[in-house]
C-alpha cells in the first residue's frame, strides 16, 4: 500500500511541477526559520568544541540579594566566591571566573578583548586546544604570578607569526608573561570563551560585603550527573549561611543551573524562572507559532488540489476506500512532501547559519572572532522531522477531510458531466 502510495506521490509531484515548487518553497522556507531557531538554540546550549563536557556542569553566575522592596541582581561577589564557593565539597572541580574587559588602543585602532581571571581548575575543565606552551598552574595561581594564556587572535595581533611563549604583554598597566597560546574559542562557547586568561588572584580587589553583588561566576563540574542534587543542596546551604551575614538581606543564587536551565533562564530574575519543562514548551510554542501562518497558505494551496484530485478520490471510494483510509493516504502524501521540504529547509538553515552565523550570534560576545561552532546533531534531525510532521498535519488535515467527504456519486455519472 505505502509503496504504491509513494510511487503515485512521485508521479504526482513530477506531473504537477508548479504546484510542487510552490508548495516546497513555502515549506522549506518555513522550516528553515524554525531550524535556524533550533540550531542556534542547540549550539548555544551544547556548543561542543572546548565545552564538550557541559552536560556535567552546573553554573553559578548570579546573585539575587533582596530586602523588603529592594533587590540587587548581578554577578557573584568575590567574598562569596572566596569564602564559600571555592570551599565547596560536592563538586569534582570548581572553576571560578572574574569577568572583565580590556580595551586596547593600538596602531590599528581600538580592540576590545574579553579577559577572564580564573583558577587553574577552570582551565582544566574545558577542552582547549593548546597551540603553544601550557596553562598556568595551581601553584602560579596561589602565588599570584603575572602569567597569562592568550588565544590565537591575541597572539597574532601582538606577535604575528612568532612564538609568544615567554614574551610579555602589558594589560591594564601590568606586565604579563605569556605561558601558553590556545586556539580561538567559538563565540557560542560562552563560558569557555576568552581572549586572555589570567590567575584570578592577580588583581587584589577589596572584598565586598555579603549583601553586594559582584562580577564573578563559578562552574561546578560534577563527577556524575547524579551528584547534581548534592551540589544544589550544598549551594542552598551556602545561601542560608551567607544570608546570616548580610545585615537582613536575603541571599540567593537562583541556581546552580545546568546548561539547559542556564540558557533558558535568559536574563530574567532567576526566582521568576518557571523551570525547564515550561520554558521548553514555550520555545516549542514559538516554533509552532512560526508554522501557523504558512500552514494557512499551504491549506489554501492544498484545497485547490482537492478539486483536481476529485476524480481519483471518487474512484478510490467507489472501489472500497473508506474515508479514514483516504485521510491517511492524503496525510501521508502530504507528510512526504513536507519532509522533503523540511530537509531542504534544514539544509538552507545550515547554509545560512554558516554564512550569517556571526550575525545570529552577535549578541553573544562583543568582540566576536567570527567562529561559531555549529554541528548538525541527531536532535536537529529529529526536530526537523517532528516539525515537518506537525506542519504536514496542520496543512493537510483540513484538505484531507474535505477530500474524504467527496460523494463519489457526483462524479461517477455515466454520461457527460
Ligand X SMILES: Nc1ncnc2c1ncn2[C@@H]1O[C@H](COP(=O)(O)OP(=O)(O)OP(=O)(O)O)[C@@H](O)[C@H]1O
Our finding on whether 414 is near ligand X (CB under 6 A) is yes
> Please, which residue, 382 or 410, has the CB nearer to ligand X?
410
Residues 6+ apart with CB under 8 A from 118: 95, 96, 97, 98, 197, 198, 199, 200
Q: Give the list of residues 6+ apart from residue 314 with CB closer than 8 angstroms, or none.
A: 406, 407, 408, 410, 411, 412
Among 17, 69, 89, 413, binds other proteins (CB under 8 A): 413
Q: Is position 307 an interface residue for other proteins (rule: CB under 8 A)?
A: no
Closest distance between ligand X and the C-beta of residue 413, in Å? 5
Least distance in angstroms from the C-beta of 399 to other proteins: 17
Q: Is 413 in the site for ligand X (CB under 6 A)?
A: yes
Q: Contact between 417 and ligand X (CB under 6 A)?
A: no
Give the number of other Cβ atoms within 10 Å of residue 140's Cβ.
16
What are the cell numbers at 288?
509552532
Q: Which residues contact 376 (CB under 8 A, 6 or more apart)?
A: 39, 346, 350
Which residue in the set 71, 303, 362, 410 belongs to the binding site for ligand X (CB under 6 A)? 410
**Of 88, 90, 92, 114, nearest to 102 (Cα)?**
114
Q: Which is nearer to other proteins, 214 or 399 (CB)?
A: 399
**Of 80-88, 106-114, 128-136, 408-416: span binding ligand X (CB under 6 A):** 408-416
415 contacts ligand X (rule: CB under 6 A): yes
Whole-angstrom distance, CA of residue 25 vs CA of residue 155: 46
Give the per-residue contact string, 92-111, with Mg ion (x = CB under 5 A; - = no): --------------------
232 binds other proteins per the rule CB under 8 A: no
- The residue among 306 and 383 lying less far from other proteins, judged by its C-beta, is 306
Pick the binder of other proteins from 132, 183, 269, 311 (CB under 8 A). 311
Q: How many residues bind ligand X (CB under 6 A)?
A: 4
415 binds Mg ion (CB under 5 A): yes
Q: How far is the CB of 416 from Mg ion (least distance, A)?
A: 9
β strands within 202-255, DSSP E: 216-221, 250-252
CA separation for the pair 72, 242 (Å, rounded): 15
Give, in degrees to the nearest 5, the angle at Cα 368 between 364 and 371: 100
* DSSP characters over 1-48: -HHHHHHHHHHHHHHTHHHHHHHHHHHHHHHHHHHHHHHHHHHHHS-B
x/- letters, 353..392, toward ligand X (CB under 6 A): ----------------------------------------
Residues that bind other proteins (CB under 8 A): 1, 3-4, 7-8, 11-12, 15, 311-312, 314-325, 407-409, 411-415
Amino acid at each position: 500500500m505505502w509503496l504504491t502510495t509513494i510511487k503515485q506521490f512521485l508521479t504526482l509531484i513530477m506531473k504537477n511541477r508548479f504546484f510542487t515548487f510552490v508548495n516546497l518553497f513555502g515549506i522549506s522556507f518555513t522550516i528553515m526559520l524554525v531550524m535556524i531557531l533550533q540550531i542556534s538554540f542547540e549550539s548555544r546550549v551544547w556548543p561542543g568544541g572546548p565545552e564538550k563536557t557541559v552536560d556535567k556542569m552546573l553554573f553559578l553566575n548570579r546573585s539575587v540579594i533582596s530586602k523588603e522592596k529592594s533587590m540587587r541582581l548581578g554577578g557573584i561577589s568575590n567574598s562569596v566566591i572566596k569564602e564559600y564557593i571555592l570551599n565547596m565539597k560536592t563538586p569534582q572541580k570548581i572553576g571560578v571566573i572574574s569577568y572583565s574587559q580590556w580595551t586596547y588602543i593600538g596602531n590599528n585602532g581600538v580592540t576590545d578583548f574579553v579577559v577572564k581571571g580564573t583558577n587553574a581548575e577552570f582551565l582544566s575543565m574545558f577542552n582547549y586546544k593548546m597551540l603553544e606552551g601550557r596553562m598556568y598552574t595551581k601553584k602560579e595561581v596561589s602565588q599570584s604570578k603575572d602569567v597569562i594564556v592568550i588565544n590565537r587572535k591575541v597572539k597574532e595581533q601582538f606577535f604575528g607569526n612568532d612564538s609568544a611563549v615567554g614574551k610579555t604583554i602589558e594589560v591594564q598597566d601590568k606586565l604579563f608573561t605569556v605561558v601558553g597560546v590556545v586556539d580561538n574559542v567559538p563565540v557560542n562557547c560562552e563560558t569557555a570563551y576568552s581572549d586572555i586568561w589570567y590567575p584570578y588572584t592577580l588583581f587584589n580587589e577589596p572584598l565586598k560585603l555579603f549583601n553586594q553583588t559582584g562580577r564573578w561566576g563559578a562552574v561546578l563540574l560534577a563527577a556524575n550527573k547524579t551528584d547534581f542534587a548534592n551540589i544544589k543542596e550544598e549551594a542552598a546551604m551556602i545561601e542560608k549561611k551567607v544570608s546570616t551575614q548580610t545585615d537582613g538581606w536575603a541571599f540567593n543564587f537562583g541556581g546552580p543551573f545546568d546548561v539547559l536551565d542556564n540558557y533558558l533562564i535568559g536574563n530574567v530574575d532567576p526566582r521568576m524562572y518557571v523551570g525547564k519543562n515550561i520554558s521548553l514548551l514555550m520555545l516549542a510554542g514559538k516554533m509552532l507559532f512560526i508554522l501557523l501562518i504558512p500552514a494557512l497558505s499551504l491549506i489554501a494551496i492544498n484545497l485547490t488540489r482537492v478539486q483536481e484530485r476529485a476524480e481519483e478520490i471518487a474512484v478510490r471510494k467507489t472501489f472500497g476506500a473508506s474515508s479514514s483510509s483516504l485521510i491517511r493516504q492524503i496525510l501521508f502524501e502530504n507528510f512526504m512532501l513536507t519532509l522533503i521540504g523540511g530537509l531542504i529547509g534544514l539544509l538552507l538553515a545550515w547554509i545560512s547559519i554558516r554564512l550569517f552565523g556571526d550575525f545570529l550570534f552577535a549578541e553573544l560576545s562583543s568582540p566576536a572572532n567570527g567562529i561559531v561552532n555549529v554541528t548538525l546533531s541527531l536532535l536537529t534531525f529529529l526536530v526537523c522531522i517532528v516539525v515537518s510532521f506537525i506542519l504536514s498535519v496542520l496543512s493537510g488535515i483540513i484538505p484531507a477531510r474535505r477530500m474524504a467527504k467527496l460523494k463519489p456519486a457526483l462524479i461517477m455519472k455515466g454520461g457527460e458531466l
